[in-house]
Amino acid sequence: MTRFILRRLLQVIPVFLGTTLLVYYMVFALPGDPIAALFGDRQPPQSVIDTLRSQYNLDQPFWVQYGLFLKNLFTFNLGNDFTGQPIAASLARVFPVTAMLAIEALAIQAVFGVAFGVFAGLRRGGWFDSTVLVASLVVIAVPTFVLGFVFQLVFGVQLGWAKPTVGANANWVTLLLPAVVLGLVSFAYVLRLTRASVSENMNADYVRTATAKGLSRPRVVLAHILRNSLIPVVTYLGANLGGLMGGAIVTEGIFNVPGVGNKLYQAVLRSEGPTIVSIVSVLVLVFVVANLLVDLLYAWLDPRIRYDQ
């Protein structure tokens, strides 16, 4: 077990170096001088531009820039972004917000997706199953940004149930609407995965045995069918957490959530290499840790799975 975790954590190193190198290079390769672009048509004196360029190491060749970035990263000094703000401080501001959003979305899709999926799977072909299948197909087919705008307009503007945007006051309540939008598409997938898995396991031998032993229906469903059906769902949810954190750009844009997605969008517009790569680095870590947790959950869900051969 410990060896497994250790091995997985060691794998992080090449993944981390590879992604940061790639992303850093892509930002580096963007045409145009990002410092000059900060100023638009009215350019400041050249000495201001040049001083800023050397402050951000932009006058150095690529490998030197990347090396300096790595060095800073490992000394926990991320430096400043182009507006002069410490990058570490802005990461500390945006990540909790997006984490809240992602966890809320994940909770929504996990709870409702699994519950609906189990009901649909148990009564396959029933009216509930058919309705849910069609509805989830619609949700999957409609892009997130359309859902976002519709929800914002209907619940935020017309019904007035929620503030249409989040802005400065991000908390569990204000983030509910964007979290629903963000979680909805994956909710449909979770539902369908659970449904398929449940209806398949219903006919398994061990379920028949459990029922034959005289176990109560709820016990059969929860302890035998559901637990065994969760493996594909958990795999999906784990991979999805990272996706929710990094992929919230559109949702965060629509609802003006001051989170990772918005920060990343602005950083890309300004070609701010260090900020982009810092955000991506954290996202990589989130991905790796989430996947590790999923792998560890397997053993709990299915004791036949062993990590140490």
Partner 1 sequence: MRFTRTSKALGIVAIAALALTGCGAGGGSTDGSSTAAGDPNKVITAYSNEPQNPLLPANTNEVYGGRVVELLFEGLRTYDASGKPVNALADSIESSDAQNWTIKVKQGQKFTNGEAITAKTFVDSWNFAANSKNLQNNGFFFESIAGYEDVSAVNSEKGADGKTKTTPAPKADTMSGLAATDDSTITVKLAQPEADWSLRLGYSAFFPLPSAALTDPKTFGENPVGNGPYKFEKQGSWVHDQSISLVKNADYKGPREAKNGGVTFKFYTDPGPAYTDLQSDNLDITDVLPSNALKTYVADFPDRNATKPVATNSTLNIPPYNPNFQGEAGKLRRQALSYAINREEIAKVVFNGTRTPAKAFVPPVIDGFKEGLKGSEVLKFDAAKAKDLWAQAEKIQPYDNSKPLQIASNTDGGNKEWIDAVANGFKNNLGIQAEIQPFAKFAEVLNLRKSQQLPGLTRAGWQGDYPSLYNFLGPVWATNASSNYEKYSNPEFDKLLKEGLAAKSTDEANGKFNQAQEILFQDLPGLPLWDQARPIVWSNNIVKAETGWNGGILYYGITAK
Give me the residues that bind partner 1 (CB under 8 A), please. 30-34, 36-48, 50-52, 54, 59-61, 82-85, 89-90, 93-94, 143, 145-146, 148-150, 152-153, 156-158, 160, 163-165, 167-168, 250, 253-256, 258, 262-263, 265-266, 269, 271
Nearest approach, Cβ of 258 to partner 1 (angstroms)? 5
Which of residues 51 and 77 has its CB atom nearest to partner 1 in the complex?
A: 51
Contact yes or no for 55/293 (Cβ under 8 A): no
CA–CA separation, 202 vs 261, rounded Å? 41
Which of residues 132 and 267 has its CB atom nearest to partner 1 in the complex?
A: 267
Task: Provide the residue type at 82 as one letter.
Answer: F
CA–CA separation, 239 vs 153, rounded Å? 30
Which of residues 153 and 222 has its CB atom nearest to partner 1 in the complex?
A: 153
Q: Is 160 left (phi over 0), alpha (psi -120 to 50) or beta?
A: left
Task: Give the CA dihedral 210, 299, 289, 226, nearest 10 degrees.
Answer: 0
Rounded to the nearest angstrom, the gap between the alpha carbon of residue 198 and the centroid of all alpha carbons in its chain is 26
Rounded to the nearest angstrom, the gap between the alpha carbon of residue 281 and the centroid of all alpha carbons in its chain is 13
Nearest Cα to Cα of residue 65 among 101, 21, 35, 14: 21
CA–CA separation, 247 vs 186, rounded Å? 12
Contact yes or no for 139/184 (Cβ under 8 A): yes
Nearest approach, Cβ of 282 to partner 1 (angstroms)? 16
Nearest approach, Cβ of 211 to partner 1 (angstroms)? 49
Distant-in-sequence, close-in-space partners of 176: CB < 8 Å, separation ≥ 6: 104, 162
Which of residues 78 and 94 has its CB atom nearest to partner 1 in the complex?
A: 94
Nearest approach, Cβ of 34 to partner 1 (angstroms)? 6
Which residues lie across from 80 on neighbouring strands? Answer: 86
Nearest approach, Cβ of 240 to partner 1 (angstroms)? 21
Tokens found for residue 122:
């148990």
Which of residues 47 and 203 has its CB atom nearest to partner 1 in the complex?
A: 47
Nearest approach, Cβ of 51 to partner 1 (angstroms)? 6
Which of residues 5 and 146 has its CB atom nearest to partner 1 in the complex?
A: 146
Nearest approach, Cβ of 266 to partner 1 (angstroms)? 6
Which of residues 235 and 266 has its CB atom nearest to partner 1 in the complex?
A: 266
Which of residues 156 and 243 has its CB atom nearest to partner 1 in the complex?
A: 156
DSSP, residue by residue, 184-203 = HHHHHHHHHHHHHHHHHHTT
Contact yes or no for 102/176 (Cβ under 8 A): no
Nearest approach, Cβ of 46 to partner 1 (angstroms)? 5
